[in-house]
Amino acid sequence: MIRRYSMDGDQFLSKKRCSGSIFASLPLKIRYCTHIKTEARASLFCYSFTMKQALQRKIRVAVLFGGKSAEHEISVRSAQNVVRALDKQRYDVTLVGIDKNGSWNFCEISQLFSDEMKIFCKQSTSSNAISQPFNAGGKFLGGKGSEEIDVVFPVLHGPFGEDGTIQGLLKLAHVPFVGASVLGSAVGMDKDITKRLLRDAGIPLARFLTYKNHERKNITFEKLKQSLGVPFFVKPANLGSSVGITKVHNKQEYSAALELAFLYDTKILIEEYINGKEVECAVLGNEAPIASLCGEITPHHEFYSYEAKYLDENGVALSIPAHIPKRVSKKIQKLAIQVFEVLCCEGMARVDFFVTDSKNIFINEINTIPGFTSISMYPKLWEASGISYAKLIDTLIEFAIKRFHGEQKLQTAFIQK
Ligand SMILES: Nc1ncnc2c1ncn2[C@@H]1O[C@H](COP(=O)(O)OP(=O)(O)O)[C@@H](O)[C@H]1O
Ligand SMILES: [Mg+2]
């Protein structure tokens, strides 16, 4: 059962102010270029502290990881880092692993770091299986012995995790959760919908075409070559970690690329190749999000493929800050916040761009649950911008709780004037 806090968050905030805040300690250049409302941020930082006081105990966090997705293994790696960074003096951590069949199971922290995880990934046989994620009363059964959970941190990548499905479940169960809600997650997961919304907002992106499985017959290599040029990219609309993506140079590669992408999704994108640097920017916040320094990805493969990301130890070089002029990085920071807002995101997201030699900027994609693996840019970008891994996790949890309380105040019944 979810704890009902005895104190109204905002009332309390207006009575008490904290002088110290991680936002206040951010480097000035970040504060100004991203228009942080320091006062509001300082208040927010006090929030979980006061919540902890109100609860008189540690904050109970459920970390959801794994999932029924081709990015399952990446999620396990991300969860290991998030769990490592959660301050155990401050949080009681409950681990809920979702296996590749979609079953939910309680896990011990030691299990998450052991070889058992590889077996668990395929199919869990654990006696700790959770028969249903929430009980008949609609409350999340997140803790062992049905302990109450204060907040959920979904560390899930790809479909059934990053796409609004889990977010909808958690919303129905009345549990605060980290990151974008249903709409932002669903929109950000689908590269086709993402790009249509961004195009509508006038944000520059590569030319692209979208096809559903039943429209396959209408596509030919020649037509694509004519409209997009060669090479071009073929990708599943709803996936990440470069799974199912091919850079196509010729007709033979094209047929295989189509087969591969349609293995993972019923909708695919075919996209113009942008020859440029890959630059990433992290965004953090709810109503007044802030942007981190920009980082650069230099893949040592033809593109930033799954192999380059996760299989080849030397697959990529990361540079923070990115090797781009200051004015370009400022422009990217502004665009990252604009993208975050256009796509209705909350809490966190990483926005990825291409920057050409002539300094034209194109947005590539958004990740509403960015990677937290050892090579992942999201936590690294914040670290370089003055927010440590542990503080980042604290802040994300605070934003989740703050949003939840804001939503609780909304009326659900008609009020006669
Ligand atoms: N239009 C494009 N032009 C150039 N490179 C691209 C393009 N689209 C994708 N890539 C390359 O493929 C990688 C993965 O594509 P992306 O769209 O980011 O998918 P994912 O969500 O799987 O990360 C990118 O990081 C980049 O290296
Ligand atoms: Mg990507």
The Cβ-side half-sphere exposure at 237, using a 13 Å CA radius, reads: 20
Question: 71: Cβ below 6 Å to ligand 1?
Answer: no
Q: State how far Cα 373 lies from the chain centre.
A: 12
The domain 207-272 having CATH identifier 3.40.50.850: the answer here is no
Residue 243: half-sphere exposure toward Cβ, Cα within 13 Å: 18
Q: What is the pLDDT of residues 300-354, one digit of tens each?
A: 999 999 999 989 999 999 999 999 999 999 999 999 999 999 999 999 999 999 9
Ligand nearest to the CA of 232: 1
Ligand nearest to the CA of 355: 1
Render pLDDT for 284-301 as a digit per residue (tens, 0 to 9): 999 999 999 999 999 999
Task: Identify the nearest ligand to the CA of 69 by its number.
Answer: 1
Q: Per residue in 84-115, pLDDT tens?
A: 999 999 999 999 999 888 888 888 899 899 87
CA-CA distances (angstroms) from residue 166 to 69, 134, 299, 310?
Answer: 13, 12, 32, 25
Smallest CA separation from ligand 1 atom 25, residue: 304
For residue 352, the ligand 1 atom closest to its alpha carbon is 18
pTM: 0.86
Question: Residue 53 carries which DSSP code?
Answer: H
66 lines ligand 1 (CB under 6 A): no
Does the pLDDT at position 139 exceed 60? no
Query: 179-204+274-417 in CATH: which number?
Result: 3.30.470.20
CA of 275 to the centre of ligand 1 (A): 11
β-pairing, 91-98 vs 59-66, is parallel
- For 3, which DSSP code? P
For the chain, domain boundaries: 9-178, 179-204+274-417, 207-272
- Asked whether the beta carbons of 237 and 211 are under 8 A apart, the reply is no
The pick from 357, 364, 365, 369 for probing ligand 1's pocket by mutation, whose C-beta has the most ligand atoms within 8 angstroms, reads 364
Distances (CA, A) of 300 to 22, 239, 308, 351: 36, 22, 7, 21
Domain 179-204+274-417 shares a fold with domain 207-272: no
Q: Hey, which of 233, 248, 354, 363 would you mutate to test ligand 1's pocket, going by the most ligand atoms within 8 Å of its Cβ?
A: 233
Dig out the tokens for 236 from the structure. Answer: 């599943």
pLDDT tens per residue, range 141-178: 555 555 678 999 999 999 899 999 999 999 988 889 99
Residue 381 and residue 293 in contact, taking contact as beta carbons nearer than 8 Å: yes
Question: CATH number of the domain at 9-178, out of 3.40.50.20, 3.40.640.10, 3.40.50.2300, 3.20.20.80?
Answer: 3.40.50.20
Nearest atom in ligand 1 to 367's CA: 21
Distance CA 261, CA 243 (A): 8
Among protein residues, the one with the nearest Cα to ligand 1's atom 8 is: 233
- For residue range 28-80, what is the model confidence (pLDDT) as tens digits? 333 333 333 333 344 344 444 456 656 678 999 999 999 998 889 999 999 99
- Residue from 18, 13, 45 nearest 396 by CA: 45
